[in-house]
């Protein structure tokens, strides 16, 4: 593909300074996202998916969180160095995020209509009250919320989890962003509503030409919605590839383990098999060498002493493993 990436992350490293010392939550994370395309970020809980997203938004929890290294290029401009005010404008107009916790992201004491209205006002200061109200109703209808005229007067605790998630999507889309980051937007929802919301997001993406970063620990969702995938393990990227290549020809032993853990269609309802034994290493006490070595079924001596680099293993396909 020749068109330039809307967003390109190069060698991002981010950390939290805590009483237990520095936790390198994200290390050497790189990827690109293109217009109308969806990049999936997949990996177990705690592997650094949300920290990657919050770094792009420059919303790491303060004062502990900081970007240590790397570049985040939005349309070619490095936003790591952007002054806070410019970053705020970027978030209001170009990059938006659906947060993992809708209850914490929505304001409990403000009516839903007002919260969406504020996004429109930030985007276009010339809008009057009636415009803002009409636009809020329109976008709620767009994300499939019935009776939006009534909903805008309600508070977040008055609506169901599925509806709250739709309100979050509506707020993120009110920005008309070039890039939408969705952090596990459907994890808390039941399967039917999850499927509806994924369909809706795909549809809105095509209509608005958005680039999307879709964060999940669910490989089924990745297969359903993504063009490209980044697999993260213990804060770093272990493999990245177009989605079909990843499923057909996984190269990193961790990715293979993840794929084998996916429940098979022929055994519905069965829990995930513990294919990958052992524990993820602590991020403030990482072993020398490969981060996956203690769980890897094929590790060789060099894996214990020196960390492999992410290297090309095929067309747009990279893996961080000596044995590829």
**Are the C-beta atoms of residues 108 and 155 closer than 8 Å to each other?**
yes
Cβ nearer to Mg ion, comparing 18 with 134 = 18
Residue 55 interacts with Mg ion (CB under 5 A)?
Answer: no
Residue 61 interacts with ligand ADP (CB under 6 A)?
Answer: yes
**Site mask for Mg ion (CB under 5 A), range 133-172, x = bound:** ----------------------------------------
Residue 99 touches which of ligand ADP, Mg ion, none (CB < 5 to 8 A by kind)?
A: none
Q: String of b and e for 55-73 (b: at least 16 CB within 10 Å)? A: bbbbebeeeebebeebbbb
Shortest Å distance, C-beta 49 to Mg ion? 5
Shortest Å distance, C-beta 132 to Mg ion? 32
Q: What phi-psi label fits residue 258: left (phi over 0), alpha (psi between -120 and 50 degrees) or beta?
A: alpha
Residue 74 interacts with ligand ADP (CB under 6 A)?
Answer: no
Residue 216 interacts with Mg ion (CB under 5 A)?
Answer: no
β-strand partners of 319:
239, 311
Choosing from 1, 19, 45, 269, the residue that interacts with ligand ADP (CB under 6 A) is: 45
Residues in region 13-42 near ligand ADP by CB under 6 A: 16, 18, 23, 25
Span from 46-54, 130-138, 171-179, 254-262 in contact with ligand ADP (CB under 6 A): 46-54
Angstrom CA distances, 149 to 113, 117, 169, 175, stand at 9, 13, 17, 20
Cβ nearer to Mg ion, comparing 46 with 242 = 46
Cβ nearer to ligand ADP, comparing 16 with 74 = 16
Nearest in space to 322 (alpha carbons), one of 297, 300, 294: 300
Both tokens assigned to 47? 């592997």
Enclosing H/E stretch for 213: strand 211-216
Enclosing H/E stretch for 181: strand 179-183
Cα–Cα distance for residue pair 199/154, rounded to 1 Å? 26
* # residues contacting ligand ADP (CB under 6 A): 15
Cβ nearer to ligand ADP, comparing 104 with 192 = 104
Shortest Å distance, C-beta 232 to Mg ion? 11
Both tokens assigned to 112? 């839903």
**Are the C-beta atoms of residues 262 and 256 closer than 8 Å to each other?**
no
**Are the C-beta atoms of residues 231 and 188 closer than 8 Å to each other?**
no
Choosing from 33, 40, 49, 97, the residue that interacts with ligand ADP (CB under 6 A) is: 49
Shortest Å distance, C-beta 176 to Mg ion? 25
Residues in region 255-284 near ligand ADP by CB under 6 A: 283
Q: Hey, how many other C-beta atoms are within 10 angstroms of the C-beta on 190?
A: 10
Residue 146 touches which of Mg ion, ligand ADP, none (CB < 5 to 8 A by kind)?
A: none
Residue 48 interacts with ligand ADP (CB under 6 A)?
Answer: yes
Secondary structure of residue 80 in the 3-state scheme: helix
Q: Is the dihedral of CA 39, 101, 114, 154 positive or negative?
A: positive
Choosing from 13, 51, 168, 170, the residue that interacts with ligand ADP (CB under 6 A) is: 51
Residue 84 interacts with ligand ADP (CB under 6 A)?
Answer: no
Binding site for ligand ADP (CB under 6 A): 16, 18, 23, 25, 43, 45-51, 61, 64, 283
Binding site for Mg ion (CB under 5 A): 49-50
């Amino acid at each position: 593909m020749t068109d330039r990436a809307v967003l390109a992350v190069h060698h991002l490293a981010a950390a939290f300074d805590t009483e237990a010392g520095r936790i390198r939550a994200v290390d050497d994370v790189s990827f690109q996202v293109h217009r109308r395309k969806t990049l999936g970020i997949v990996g177990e809980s705690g592997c650094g998916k949300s920290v990657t997203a919050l770094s792009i938004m420059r919303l790491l929890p303060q004062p502990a969180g900081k970007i240590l290294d790397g570049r985040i290029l939005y349309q070619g401009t490095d936003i790591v160095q952007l002054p806070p005010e410019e970053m705020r404008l970027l978030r209001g107009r170009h990059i938006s995020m659906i947060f993992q916790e809708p209850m914490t992201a929505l304001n409990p004491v403000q009516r839903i209509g007002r919260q969406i209205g504020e996004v429109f006002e930030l985007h276009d200061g010339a809008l009057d009250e009636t415009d803002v109200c009409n636009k809020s109703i329109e976008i709620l209808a767009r994300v499939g919320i019935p009776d939006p005229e009534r909903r805008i007067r309600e508070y977040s605790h008055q609506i169901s989890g599925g509806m709250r998630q739709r309100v979050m999507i509506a707020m993120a889309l009110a920005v008309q962003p070039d890039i939408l980051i969705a952090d596990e937007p459907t994890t808390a929802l039941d399967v039917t509503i999850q499927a509806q919301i994924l369909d809706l997001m795909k549809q809105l993406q095509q209509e608005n030409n958005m680039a999307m970063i879709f964060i999940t620990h669910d490989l089924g969702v990745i297969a359903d919605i993504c063009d490209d995938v980044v697999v993260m393990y213990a804060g770093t990227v272990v493999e990245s590839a177009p989605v079909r290549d990843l499923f057909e020809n996984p190269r990193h032993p961790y990715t293979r383990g993840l794929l084998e853990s996916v429940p098979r269609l022929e055994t519905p309802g069965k829990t995930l098999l513990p294919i990958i034994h052992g524990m993820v290493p602590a991020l403030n006490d990482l072993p020398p060498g490969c981060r996956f070595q203690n769980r890897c079924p094929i590790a060789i001596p060099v894996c214990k002493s020196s960390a492999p680099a992410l290297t090309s293993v095929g067309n747009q396909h990279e893996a961080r493993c000596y044995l590829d």
